[in-house]
Chain A
Amino acid sequence: MLEVNALRKVYDGHGRRVEAIADLTFSVGEGEFACVVGPSGCGKTTLLKCIAGLLAPTSGEARIDGTPVTGPPTGLAVVFQEYGRSLFPWLRARDNVELPLRAAGLPRRTRHGLVEEALRAVGLGDVHGAYPWQLSGGMQQRVAIARAIAYGPRVLLMDEPFAAVDAQTRADLEDLIRSVWQRLGVTLLFVTHDIDESVYLGQRVIVLSAAPTRVAEDIAIDLPAARDQLTTRGDPRFAELRGQIYAQIQKAKHGSTR
């Protein structure tokens, strides 16, 4: 479904060459929930932008359904970390969700149905008419998620979407994302720097090394599919996986300084 083949990205500018991504290869199956973790500055956002077609890789490629990504592909939605900057402040919540559908030329009635459904799915049944800046950070990110849901993507990319919200909201949003993924059957690539979050959310965690970035390890998360904040996080297996990934990241950091 989603393949990344020998992807490499070098930023060239002002006489400085920065190798953000050295060589990344992995693939994500149809309907799979994969998390990408790595030390900060390891090019997670760069990777995501390359897959989203917002940034051209220096070499290698990303493929979706076998088609190489050369620009923003159809059926792919992105949820950015900076919810405050990815929602249109001049559009009300419902219009933010609706805009991509309007641009796609869907008829009004279909649009309204999708918007209604998506906002209800993220628990925002009653703030349709509010502007994003009138909402809390967590609610803004819900609007952004609703926009992605309404768009009906086959692939959903999320770039540290919960990094800027408080812990309580974050737990709620994590559960929301699990339920959205289970209901939509979408292929989900979730980038985060939080190890616990990656274990809690994913079926699989791809651990990246420090820059220049490679895949350090690819770990299957064999926790039960029904997860909740208390029992899952209390599961001894959760702690084990968490420890394993933590150790990997530590190793990856040392590997790069050698």
Chain B
Amino acid sequence: MTSALRRAAALLTVPVLLVALWWYSSANSTDFYRPPLSRILVAFRETWFGARLADDVLPSLTRLLLGYAAALLLGVAVGVAVGTSYRLRALVEPILEFLRAIPPPVLVPIIMLVAGIGDLMKVIVIVSGCVWPILLNTVEGVRNVDEILADTCRSYRVRGMARLRHLVLRSASPQIVTGARQALSIGIILMVISEMFAASSGLGFTVVQFQRGFAIPQMWSGVLLLGLLGVLLSLLFRLAERRILRWYHGIRAIEREP
């Protein structure tokens, strides 16, 4: 209990200090563009705890989750195929390197031409950025399946889907999770960016609207909300990771012991 408290304290100290610093340094601010934090917080409550929650926050998050899930599926599926087949890897690796080097925001205009300006476009933008770290990490993970485990599967006739599920995916899971973690932060960025083009709802859209309408405290509150969402999502991610990679962290903890 005390250790949990101590951990929470360690985790929160710096954020609390920074917020306090922001609060006091901005308390008497008369600068139009840098309003006091107190005003931003008031705007936060007024702006986000109303209709906007359903009209802007929810659509953004839905698109993010859809795009992220699709990227996860696509990245792992293609990654397993490429990682398993030496031939396929030799064939597609240069193309993958090229595609992944393209910054996804630059694809927005192109994707718009193909997919229109609706939700589909935004989801595709998110997929196009999230898929690469997942895919490339999956390839690495699948390639490094332990030889003796693979032999064990062969001699015990663990094949097909059972082999994929119990050997390939689990062996690669530490790398897949690493890729998925990188993809999550990319996804949040692309969620916002995709909403800055030709959008009528969403967090990115709203923040830009506020800025153009000189609703400065509201604009700040949007940025704050995005930051908080990022923290929340990464917490959720860590919970999932702890479950999925229990064995991995367990082994690492034992190896670290003197």
What residues of B have a CB within 8 angstroms of the CB of A131 in the complex?
Answer: 247, 250
What residues of A have a CB within 8 angstroms of the CB of B146 in the complex?
Answer: 85
CB-nearest residue of chain A to B254: A133
**Cβ < 8 Å to B, chain A residues 54-106:** 54, 71-72, 74, 76-78, 80, 82, 85-86, 88-91, 99-100, 102-104
Within 8 Å by CB of A103, from B149, B151, B156, B248, lies B156
Whether B152 sits at the interface, judged by CB under 8 Å, is yes
When the two chains form their complex, are residues A99 and B166 in contact, meaning their CB atoms are under 8 A apart?
A: yes
CB-nearest residue of chain B to A100: B156
When the two chains form their complex, are residues B155 and A88 in contact, meaning their CB atoms are under 8 A apart?
A: no
When the two chains form their complex, are residues A54 and B247 in contact, meaning their CB atoms are under 8 A apart?
A: no
Within 8 Å by CB of B155, from A76, A89, A99, lies A76
Within 8 Å by CB of A133, from B157, B162, B166, B247, lies B247
CA distance in complex: A183, B170 (Å):
35
Whether B159 sits at the interface, judged by CB under 8 Å, is yes
CA distance in complex: A133, B249 (Å):
11
CA distance in complex: A89, B255 (Å):
14
Majority secondary structure of chain B interface residues (helix, strand, loop or mixed) = helix
When the two chains form their complex, are residues B152 and A80 in contact, meaning their CB atoms are under 8 A apart?
A: yes
Whether A210 sits at the interface, judged by CB under 8 Å, is no
What residues of B have a CB within 8 angstroms of the CB of A250 in the complex?
Answer: none
When the two chains form their complex, are residues B152 and A133 in contact, meaning their CB atoms are under 8 A apart?
A: no
Whether B17 sits at the interface, judged by CB under 8 Å, is no
24 residue pairs A–B, Cβ–Cβ below 8 Å: A54-B151, A71-B154, A72-B155, A77-B156, A78-B152, A80-B151, A82-B148, A85-B148, A86-B148, A86-B149, A88-B149, A88-B167, A90-B170, A99-B166, A100-B156, A102-B162, A103-B157, A103-B158, A133-B247, A133-B250, A133-B254, A134-B250, A134-B254, A151-B156
Whether A185 sits at the interface, judged by CB under 8 Å, is no
Whether B251 sits at the interface, judged by CB under 8 Å, is yes
**Cβ < 8 Å to B, chain A residues 1-55:** 49, 52-54
When the two chains form their complex, are residues B162 and A103 in contact, meaning their CB atoms are under 8 A apart?
A: yes
* Shortest distance between the CB of B257 and any CB in chain A (Å): 12
**Cβ < 8 Å to A, chain B residues 138-164:** 146, 148-149, 151-152, 154-159, 162-163
What residues of A have a CB within 8 angstroms of the CB of B149 in the complex?
Answer: 85-86, 88
Interface residues of A (CB under 8 A from B): 49, 52-54, 71-72, 74, 76-78, 80, 82, 85-86, 88-91, 99-100, 102-104, 131, 133-134, 147, 151
Contacts A91-B166, A99-B166, A133-B247 given; does A86 touch B159 at CB 8 Å: no
List 3 tightest A-B contacts by C-beta distance, closest first: A100-B156, A85-B148, A103-B158
* 7 extra A-B contacts, CB within 8 A, seeds A91-B166, A134-B250: A72-B157, A80-B151, A85-B148, A86-B151, A89-B248, A99-B158, A102-B162
When the two chains form their complex, are residues A88 and B250 in contact, meaning their CB atoms are under 8 A apart?
A: no
When the two chains form their complex, are residues B166 and A104 in contact, meaning their CB atoms are under 8 A apart?
A: no
What residues of B have a CB within 8 angstroms of the CB of A90 in the complex?
Answer: 170, 173, 247-248
CB-nearest residue of chain A to B166: A99
What residues of B have a CB within 8 angstroms of the CB of A134 in the complex?
Answer: 250, 254
What residues of A have a CB within 8 angstroms of the CB of B156 in the complex?
Answer: 72, 77, 99-100, 103, 147, 151
* Shortest distance between the CB of A246 and any CB in chain B (Å): 31
* Shortest distance between the CB of A55 and any CB in chain B (Å): 9
Within 8 Å by CB of B251, from A74, A78, A89, lies A89
* Shortest distance between the CB of B235 and any CB in chain A (Å): 24
When the two chains form their complex, are residues A77 and B155 in contact, meaning their CB atoms are under 8 A apart?
A: yes
Contacts A88-B166, A88-B170 given; does A133 touch B155 at CB 8 Å: no
CA distance in complex: A131, B151 (Å):
20
When the two chains form their complex, are residues A100 and B157 in contact, meaning their CB atoms are under 8 A apart?
A: yes
CB-nearest residue of chain B to A73: B155
**Cβ < 8 Å to A, chain B residues 148-192:** 148-149, 151-152, 154-159, 162-163, 166-167, 170, 173
